[in-house]
């Protein structure tokens, strides 16, 4: 341990945002943590980032993750951004409880941000304490890493520490810091801020930067800014389709929580839908259901329209022409989203080819699931068991199995058309329909154990289970089942 302590973690920072956008961020420092302790280090991600896990798993690493030491080459700053929150425009948001340490090039030469979340106030804190409580930090760790294992683009968690201080929410809670890794933290809201504060010149600079960082292949397009918009649309449409395919509800799809890279960001009041119902909302602050499960595709379009507005002056020097080009592109969002969604759904029910009736077949299953009040994840997972000769595993999930039986006959007819081995098909389905997701009650259990009883064991166990969401393993049964019915509606809170 002592030798490890003396090893200083080498990050090899290369801070392009700090070099490029002076005036659109605030340099600041973390508030020192009084008695920090490392709870979790993500060894696999450290290796991916070209970092030495042994050097990070040390006193020196802890000092970095708790904001007590600035690693060599870091240039800590809080980014400015704006955003529409629940439809209303907030001109000045920004990193109020986050600090970008800097950027590193990972082993695939991809640029990644390394950010502390919960490390104390910044000039953008607007009266907040800039801190994070242990529960939300562990939630972001669990759900984010779970999403990554599910194949959904997402920011990642490199480390979680407790700071040793109490922070005050409805009650005193242990303070914590998450080290977050992202392809970048540029959001739709960053474009909104640059458009409002920097004008055309600054938006163009930000777009050029985002193209170089995220979509370098389009730099030579005839109209690179329109091509950029198309690329963001495609990345975000694929992302939201991915969420819908696994039953994920982000919960707070404000424009400041939508990345340009197409990664899921900000795991606040997020949750996984259990019983299938498009109107599902878990967030305590989403009284109108704006960000309900079934509204997410519409909000995708709404948010991207806000991005389009910022790009008008750079897409064409004639405003009318720019609006026309962007409007035509906006019309592609829903068809693109539907194509991504349908491709995902086809593979969920074991289809490899495309037939015109597939959309109806899939929608009809969803209707039967809605009527039958079935668990979203379990139905899809157990379809493969029907192909292995056990139809009852899925049938028994439906209150009235008759409607499911009618659907299943159509499904089997469609599968027969395609041919192929049922076992190979079942295996392919098991690679896209998870058996283990971060189920809400299991997440809550792990958080409560950590916060109320200082027992990290359920958290560590859950991290392990969520790392293999598609592979059934002995001893993990408790993670497959929906919460026992208590009659109490599950609620999530904005994790600050
Ligand atoms: P969110 O809803 O988590 O995306 O956050 C919205 C805005 O509130 C962002 O600008 C955050 O930086 C800011 N914010 C959230 N929690 C805090 C906090 N505890 N202290 C300061 N700012 C915060
Ligand atoms: Mg946010």
Written as tens digits, the pLDDT of the chain (496 aa) is: 333 344 678 999 999 999 999 999 999 999 999 999 999 999 999 999 999 999 999 999 999 999 999 999 999 999 999 999 999 999 999 999 999 999 999 999 999 999 999 999 999 999 999 999 999 999 999 999 999 999 999 999 999 999 999 999 999 999 999 999 999 999 999 999 999 998 999 999 999 999 999 999 998 999 999 999 999 999 999 999 999 999 999 999 999 999 999 999 999 999 999 999 999 999 999 999 999 999 999 999 999 999 999 999 999 999 999 999 999 999 999 999 999 999 999 999 999 999 999 999 999 999 999 999 999 999 999 999 999 999 999 999 998 899 999 999 999 999 999 999 999 999 999 999 999 999 999 999 999 999 999 999 999 999 999 999 999 999 999 999 998 876 667 787 776 5
From the CA of 251, which ligand is nearest?
Answer: 1
Q: Confirm whether 256 is a catalytic residue.
A: yes
Q: How far, in Å, CA of 194 to CA of 310, rounded?
A: 9
The reported pTM is 0.97
Site to substitute for ligand 1 among 88, 178, 189, 496, most atoms within 8 A of C-beta: 496
Question: Measured in angstroms, how far is the CA atom of residue 93 from the centroid of ligand 1?
Answer: 8
pLDDT at site 487:
64
- Determine if ligand 1 sits within 6 Å of the CB of residue 117: no
Of 151, 185, 219, the last residue of a domain is: 185
What ligand 1 atom has the least distance to the C-alpha of 94? 10
Angle between helices 296-315 and 319-330 (to 10 degrees): 150
From the CA of 94, which ligand is nearest?
Answer: 1
Q: How far, in Å, CA of 169 to CA of 165, rounded?
A: 13
The string of pLDDT tens digits covering residues 404-418 is 999 999 999 999 999
pLDDT at site 495:
61
The number of distinct structural domains making up the chain is: 3
Nearest-5° Cα angle at 201, 199 to 202: 70
What ligand 1 atom has the least distance to the C-alpha of 268? 3
327 and 358 assigned to the same domain: no
Nearest-5° Cα angle at 50, 45 to 53: 60
305 and 365 assigned to the same domain: no
22 and 130 assigned to the same domain: yes
313 and 358 assigned to the same domain: no
From the CA of 96, which ligand is nearest?
Answer: 1
Question: Measured in angstroms, how far is the CA atom of residue 89 from the centroid of ligand 1?
Answer: 15
167 and 235 assigned to the same domain: no
416 and 495 assigned to the same domain: yes
- Determine if ligand 1 sits within 6 Å of the CB of residue 268: yes
Residue of 234, 256, 286, 375 marked active site: 256
Of 185, 215, 248, the last residue of a domain is: 185
- Determine if ligand 1 sits within 6 Å of the CB of residue 125: yes
- Determine if ligand 1 sits within 6 Å of the CB of residue 10: no
Determine phi and psi for 419, rounding to 5 degrees. Answer: 70, -165
Question: Measured in angstroms, how far is the CA atom of residue 96 from the centroid of ligand 1?
Answer: 5
124 and 50 assigned to the same domain: yes
Report the nearest-CA residue for atom 7 of ligand 1: 93
126 and 14 assigned to the same domain: yes
Structure tokens at 446: 């792990």
216 and 170 assigned to the same domain: no
Question: Measured in angstroms, how far is the CA atom of residue 256 from the centroid of ligand 2?
Answer: 6
Question: Which residues form the domain of 9?
Answer: 2-185
- Determine if ligand 1 sits within 6 Å of the CB of residue 375: no
Report the nearest-CA residue for atom 19 of ligand 1: 130
Q: How far, in Å, CA of 20 to CA of 206, rounded?
A: 9
What ligand 1 atom has the least distance to the C-alpha of 98? 12
154 and 261 assigned to the same domain: no
Q: How far apart are the first and last CA of the chain?
A: 34
- Determine if ligand 1 sits within 6 Å of the CB of residue 458: no
- Determine if ligand 1 sits within 6 Å of the CB of residue 494: yes
Q: How far, in Å, CA of 134 to CA of 112, rounded?
A: 24
Identify whether the C-beta of residue 473 lies closer than 8 Å to the C-beta of residue 480: no
249 and 392 assigned to the same domain: no
Of 301, 327, 342, the last residue of a domain is: 342
SS3 for 305-373 is: HHHHHHHHHHHCCCHHHHHHHHHHHHCCHHHHHHHHHHHHHHHHCCCCCCCCCHHHHHHHHHHHHHHHC
Site to substitute for ligand 1 among 100, 121, 123, 125, most atoms within 8 A of C-beta: 125
Q: How far, in Å, CA of 369 to CA of 152, rounded?
A: 24
206 and 245 assigned to the same domain: yes
- Determine if ligand 1 sits within 6 Å of the CB of residue 189: no
- Determine if ligand 1 sits within 6 Å of the CB of residue 252: yes
Question: Measured in angstroms, how far is the CA atom of residue 213 from the centroid of ligand 1?
Answer: 26
Other CB atoms within 10 Å distance of the CB of residue 340: 20
Structure tokens at 184: 């970048």
pLDDT at site 490:
76
- Determine if ligand 1 sits within 6 Å of the CB of residue 496: yes
Question: Measured in angstroms, how far is the CA atom of residue 160 from the centroid of ligand 1?
Answer: 18
Other CB atoms within 10 Å distance of the CB of residue 343: 15
Structure tokens at 31: 């508030």
Question: Measured in angstroms, how far is the CA atom of residue 108 from the centroid of ligand 1?
Answer: 32
């Amino acid at each position: 341990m002592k030798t490890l302590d003396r090893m200083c973690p080498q990050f090899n920072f290369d801070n392009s945002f700090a070099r490029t956008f002076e005036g659109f961020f605030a340099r600041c420092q973390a508030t020192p943590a009084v008695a920090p302790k490392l709870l979790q280090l993500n060894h696999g991600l450290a290796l991916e980032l070209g970092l030495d896990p042994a050097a990070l798993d040390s006193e020196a690493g802890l000092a970095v993750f708790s904001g007590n030491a600035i690693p060599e080459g870091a240039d800590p700053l809080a980014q400015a951004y704006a955003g529409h929150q629940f439809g209303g425009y907030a001109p000045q948001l920004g990193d109020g409880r986050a600090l970008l340490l800097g950027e590193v090039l990972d082993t695939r030469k991809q640029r990644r941000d390394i950010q502390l979340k919960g490390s104390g106030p910044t000039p953008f804190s607007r009266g907040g304490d800039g801190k994070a409580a242990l529960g939300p930090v562990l939630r972001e760790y669990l759900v984010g890493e779970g999403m990554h294992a599910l194949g959904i683009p997402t920011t990642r968690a490199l480390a979680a520490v407790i700071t040793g201080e109490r922070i005050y929410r409805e009650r005193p809670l242990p303070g914590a810091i998450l080290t977050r890794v992202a392809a970048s933290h540029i959001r739709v809201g960053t474009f909104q801020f640059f458009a409002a504060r920097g004008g055309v010149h600054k938006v163009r600079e930000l777009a050029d930067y985002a193209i170089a960082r995220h979509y370098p292949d389009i730099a030579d397009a005839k109209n690179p800014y329109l091509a950029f918009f198309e690329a963001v649309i495609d990345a975000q449409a694929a992302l939201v389709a991915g969420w819908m395919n696994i039953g994920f509800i982000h919960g707070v799809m404000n424009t400041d929580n939508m990345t340009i890279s197409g990664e899921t960001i900000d795991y606040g009041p997020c949750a996984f839908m259990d019983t299938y119902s498009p109107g599902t909302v878990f967030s305590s602050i989403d009284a109108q259901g704006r960000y309900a499960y079934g509204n997410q595709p519409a909000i995708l379009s709404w948010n991207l329209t806000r991005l389009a507005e910022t790009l008008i002056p750079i897409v064409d020097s004639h405003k009318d022409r720019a609006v026309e080009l962007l409007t035509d592109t906006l019309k592609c969002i829903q068809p693109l989203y539907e194509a991504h969604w349908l491709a995902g759904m086809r593979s969920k029910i074991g289809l490899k080819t495309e037939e015109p009736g597939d959309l109806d077949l899939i929608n009809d299953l969803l209707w039967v699931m809605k009527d039958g009040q079935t668990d979203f994840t379990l139905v899809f997972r157990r379809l493969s068991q029907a192909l292995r000769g056990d139809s009852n595993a899925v049938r028994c999930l439906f209150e009235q199995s008759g409607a499911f039986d009618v659907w299943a006959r159509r499904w089997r007819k469609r599968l027969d058309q395609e041919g192929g081995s049922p076992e190979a098909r079942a295996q392919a389905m098991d690679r896209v329909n998870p058996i283990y997701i971060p189920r809400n009650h299991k997440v809550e259990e792990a958080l409560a154990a950590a916060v109320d009883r200082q027992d990290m064991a359920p958290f560590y166990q859950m991290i392990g289970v969520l790392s293999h969401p598609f592979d059934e393993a002995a001893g993990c049964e408790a993670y497959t089942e929906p919460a026992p019915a208590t009659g109490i509606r599950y609620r999530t809170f904005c994790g600050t």
